[in-house]
Structure 1
Amino acid sequence: MGLTPTRVHKTRIEDCYIVSGDDCIAVKSGWDQYGIKFGMPTKHLVIRRLTCISPKSATVALGSEMSGGIRDVRVEDVTAINTESSIRIKTAEGRGAYVKDIYVRRLTLKTMKYVFWMSGAYGSHPDEGFDPKALPVIQNINYREVVAENVTRPAQLDGLANDPFKGICMSNISISLTAKPKKVLWNCTDIEGITSLVTPKACDLLPEQPKPVDCAFPGDKLAIEGVKLMTCSA
């Protein structure tokens, strides 16, 4: 069983070992018109020192029910073993809101179908009342310091044709492939961003920068990081 933080503010998840048939951590904030109307985002979320095993799902999923918005999520020092993907973004027409200001660093990945996975057409809906013109904003997504081995495809990145995912940054990433990788290693549509020191070379929509770049990770500390956990005994 994984964790599903939904509409949370100033939350810290750390030192967890999760084996799951679904996403190890699924970050959510509401579904379609209901999430838009309620309007409460998930924000200021810290996830660190996580070990995940999930052969059919993600280490950390953002969405697909993200219609209240997801902002300022910081993921670091994560190990995933025999897991379908690392950080997955899932959304669709009708979701509205945003997934933005996502910061990821120091991932160790072993036996993965995908390292990077973004889906703009994760299209299930609770009913027919959703607004297809409510398009999600996906922007400022940062990954750095990633080492992955035994990978089938480095990336499957699919934005929306009239709503591209923007501000994707990947730096200092080394991916070694399985003996039988996919023919197209980086499958990218409707995205915009950059890469720096990434192997194997990314798709043309994520051009390698002529000079090394470090993708962003905030230097400040969120208030929740200063809260000390207390040990209680009977």
Structure 2
Amino acid sequence: MTDRKDFDPRTFGAVADGSSDDTRAIQSAIDAAAVHSGRVILRGGTFLTGSLFLASGVDFHLDESAVLAATFDQDAYPNTPSRIAGVEMSWPAAILNVIGAENVTVTGGGLIDGRGSHWWDQFWGPDGKSGLLNEYEERGLRWATDYDCRRPRVILVQGSSRVTIQGISIKRSPFWTVHLLYSNDLTVADVRIDENLGPSTDGIDIDSCARVVIERCEISCADDNISIKSGRDANGLRVDRVCEDIDIRHCVFGEGVGLALGSEVSGGVRNVRIHDVEFDGTDYGIRFKSSRARGGFITDVSVERVTLRDVAYPISLQLNWYPLYNTITVPEDHSGEIPESWRVLSEPLPEGVRPTVVRDIAIVDVTSDLDESYDGPSWAFDIDGLPDAPIHRLRLENVSLRARELGRIIGVRDLDLSGVRLEIEHANTVDPNPNDHSLHHQWRARHRTLPRTVRRTSASARAGEVSF
């Protein structure tokens, strides 16, 4: 067997000076490598690029001396059919795309810089007030903001199989960082994601995929560190593609909103194993979320050997999460054409759609502690099932939590508590409003300059005042 042939984008005209557009040269190297199932190697410089498309059999290797930097040119990211936040639509291509391919690897110790602040300003505005979010909230269109503020992802793997992403670092993503969609047999390993200070800068989104391993990753961002999804409402029910057989292990999460199952789960999520992970300063730890009329299911989830430090809500299940985002209503005073994305979002649900079924959840060997200096919100439990569709068979075993307040456990049938130890400082002081999901973000923003650096330390809960 012969060695793989290597291809250098400089041979095809790349300059790697950080200001010249190297998109065409890099893509030419990729296309040449595809003929030979070869390797593209970027080294020794900053390669400015728009969307790149990897073909089957290609190894895209980013040497530790190389930076792949995103151009600000919107036209450099052509619209492609995809799915965003659970809804199929045309969307700007990612910086690095693996679409309809197999046996692809993205490797090396180099950096992909999404240069996200340019894109974040479109959402928030340079002053934090003049962006699309503020305008849409005033018009009663909060639900449409994420879909109408069109920003590229960093890596998209879509309709592909046997893809590995390993060893690279990613920072300042314009939008979602790594999006795995409609794909099977995937591995994301030893990837570091940080400086994602902008809106909707999820770390890794696993979206209607099967047989996925996420391991030894360090993720800090301004939204879900990892999110497991399967489609939203009528559109997700039509596609009807489950997300299943997911293994997340030996990862560390810094700044972010935690590891989420949901909220887009209309196609269902099942057979998920989360183990040997650490949370350091995330808003949430393990989080399940859906909307009342979403349908779908989340079943057979195992969470084991988890350590949390300075996490506001270590265990959260919210089955009517954030109604302002999930309730689709076009204002009566809206004038002009209705965008296609709005039509898809507002498509009526089929008759008889029931709330999301959540059952057979095991949370075992979990420790959550707070530093004495921590002054943010703190609940031991944020469990809010629905009276007419309660969570079934939730087991907590050998769980030790230190928190300011107990929080809530509502809407659970067959709750099994064994070896649960709690240290609670005082009674709840605030009744939660389902639309006030951003309160912890506001507290964190007052304390944040850059995302909290991941610290590999294991917290130990103090002797519990309450045991089960």
Give the TM-score taking structure 1 as reference length: 0.79
One-letter amino acid of the structure 2 residue matched with residue 152 of structure 1: S
Answer yes or no: is 1:39 the counterpart of 2:240.
yes
SS at match of 1:93: coil
* 8 Å contact kept, 2:396–2:420: yes
C-alpha displacement at 1:127, in angstroms?
1.9
Q: For structure 2, which runs of at least 5 residues remain unmatched after alignment?
A: 1-200, 328-344, 371-376, 425-466
2:265 partner SS: coil
Which whole-Å CA distance do the structure 2 matches of 1:139 and 1:149 have between them? Answer: 27
User: Once the two structures are superposed, what CA deviation does each residue of 1:17-37 show, in whole Å capped at 9, x if it has no partner?
Assistant: 000100100100000111111
2:369 to 124, 138, 149: 149
Does residue 196 in structure 1 map to residue 422 in structure 2? Answer: no
Output aligned runs, 1:168-183, within 5 Å: 168-177=394-403, 181-182=404-405
1:159-170 alignment runs, 5 A limit? 159-170=385-396
Residue pairs, 1:1-234, within 5 angstroms: 1=201, 2-55=203-256, 57-58=257-258, 60-122=259-321, 123=323, 124-125=326-327, 126-127=345-346, 129-131=348-350, 133-150=353-370, 152-177=378-403, 181-182=404-405, 185-192=406-413, 193-200=415-422
Q: CA 1:83–1:38 in structure 2 vs 1: closer, same or farther (change >3 Å)?
A: same
The match for 1:214 is none
Q: Deviations over 1:156-214 (max 9, x none)?
A: 1011121001110000011123xxx13xx040111121110001189xxxxx87xxxxx
Aligned-partner residue type, residue 318 of structure 2: S
- 3-state SS of 2:216 partner: strand
Secondary structure, counterpart of 1:4 in structure 2 = strand
Identical aligned residues as a percent:
27
Separation (CA, whole Å) in 2 of partners of 1:98 and 1:110 = 30
Counterpart in 2 of 1:215?
Answer: none
Structure with a larger share of its residues in helix: 2
Contact persistence 2:234–2:347 (CA under 8 A) = no
Specify which structure has the bigger relative contact order, considering alpha-carbon pairs within 8 angstroms and separated by 6 or more residues.
1
Question: 2: CA distance between counterparts of 1:195 and 1:50?
Answer: 26
**Cα contact 1:93–1:133 (8 A) shared by 2:** no
- 1:87 offset after TM fit, Å? 1.0
Give the alignment's TM-score, normalised by structure 2: 0.40
SS in 1 for 2:312: strand
SS of residue paired to 2:217: strand
- 1:85, distance to aligned residue in structure 2 (A): 1.4
Do the aligned partners of 1:53 and 1:82 also contact (CA within 8 Å) in 2? yes
The number of residues matched between the two structures is 197
CA distance in 2, matches of 1:176, 1:95: 33
Question: Gapped runs of 5+ residues in structure 1?
Answer: 203-207, 210-234
Alpha carbons 1:105, 1:144 under 8 Å: kept: yes
For 1:141 and 1:201, the matched residues in 2 are separated by 23
Mapped partners of 2:239, 2:395: distance in 1: 31
Which has a greater percent of strand?
1
Deviations 1:32-82 (A, max 9, x none): 111111111000000001100135x12x10000000000000000000000
